[in-house]
Copies of this chain bind each other. A is one copy, B any other.
Amino acid sequence: MAEVARTAGVSTATAGRALGGYGSVSPEARTRVLAAAKELGYRRNDLARAVITGRSDTIGLVVADIDNPFFAAAVRGVSDAARAAGYEVLLANTDEDPHRERSAVDVLLARRVDGLIVAPTWGDPEHLQRAQRSGTPVVLLDRRIEGVDLDTVMVDNFEASRRAVAYLVDAGHRRIAMVTGGTRRSQVAPPGQRGVSTGRDRVEGFLRGAAEAGLQEPERYLRTAAGTPDLSQRATADLLAGHEPPTALFASDSRVALGAVKAIRQAGRTIPDHISLVAFDDADWTGVVTPTITVISQPAQALGRRAAEMLLERISGAQEEPREELLPTVFIERDSVAPCADDTRGA
């Protein structure tokens, strides 16, 4: 910059003003500086600027796995909203490992991000609260943490799941199973905080829906820790092979549904004749398989966008109470649910 200033015949202060767009500069000085900068191939150093201003115009984004379609869409939403406001996005994956989440947050904080959007995984969220307290706003995406004062953008997983079960019950089903990832057993945490809120809420919605229908022992048909297609396939196969197999299945996300569909097919059963299926997430393929799958559609991209918007509000100094914002899900009826054909429905 000093060289640009020299070439343009002004002080570095004036050159800085012309290049940085602050203060006031005469039109002629500005053009001279700009010309000199172009001639010399000058490129601004945003890092040095950030050191001075204390703002990096960057937000940190921490998700479990960008390669999961839900998060990919959410990241896209965050990215779009961020860029529209002149912010860049620093991305980190955790693979649901609390240790990686914590270290990712530490690194992003050291890089002086102006704010953080986190889809928190299961451990102690103290690092998130500390970040917020020390002046870096945090917005939770897709997952809430009880007893923590942070903005949160998500859907009503409990209610959506309860309704899905009610829908299956209305179709006459009584032996309704749920396959889900998330809720791990081998986990050290207070009971209320096990697993990820998304998984917990969906399981509780399932249990509530089952209870409301007076179903006996719904836990008998609940399979957790099946978060990948492969695990889900095995869990579903297990369910189908059991005594009094379920006549309907609720899959907690599209990857779980993928494994479930495979297992059902391999077991020689057909959807929806032998077993009905409802899944979370309107993945692209759910509309193209035979039969098409009835799903609870989540506005993944909009969730990301809203999270970014809320974060940007906080960054610009909004001081209201932390709020939990719920975006609506859409229940899309397709062809994977049929009335229960099983005579033993009373079982």
List the interface of chain A (C-beta within 8 A of B).
Answer: 41, 43-48, 50-51, 56, 58, 65-67, 69, 72-73, 75-76, 79-80, 83, 88-93, 107-112, 134, 229, 255, 258, 261-262, 265, 283-285, 287-290, 301
Contacts and interface: CB of A to CB of B under 8 A. Distances in A.
Contact of A88 (B92, B261, B287): B92
Given A69-B72, A76-B67, A90-B88, A46 B284 contact: no
Contact of A90 (B80, B90, B283, B287): B90
B66 A80 contact: no
A237 to B, nearest CB: 14
B45 A47 contact: no
14 contacts: A41-B134, A46-B112, A47-B47, A47-B50, A48-B51, A67-B75, A67-B76, A67-B301, A76-B93, A89-B90, A229-B284, A258-B288, A262-B288, A288-B289
A29 B52 CA distance: 30
Contact of A287 (B45, B56, B72, B262): B262
Contacts of A48: 51
A109 B47 CA distance: 11
A312 B244 CA distance: 56
B76 A66 contact: yes
Nearest to A89: B91
A80 B67 CA distance: 11
A209 to B, nearest CB: 26
Nearest to A285: B285
A265 B287 CA distance: 11
A111 B47 contact: yes
A266 to B, nearest CB: 11
Closest 5 CB pairs of A and B: A285-B285, A72-B72, A67-B76, A46-B110, A91-B91
A128 to B, nearest CB: 15
A117 to B, nearest CB: 13
A69 B91 CA distance: 17
B56 A66 contact: no
A40 to B, nearest CB: 12
A46 B72 CA distance: 28
Contacts of A46: 107, 110-112
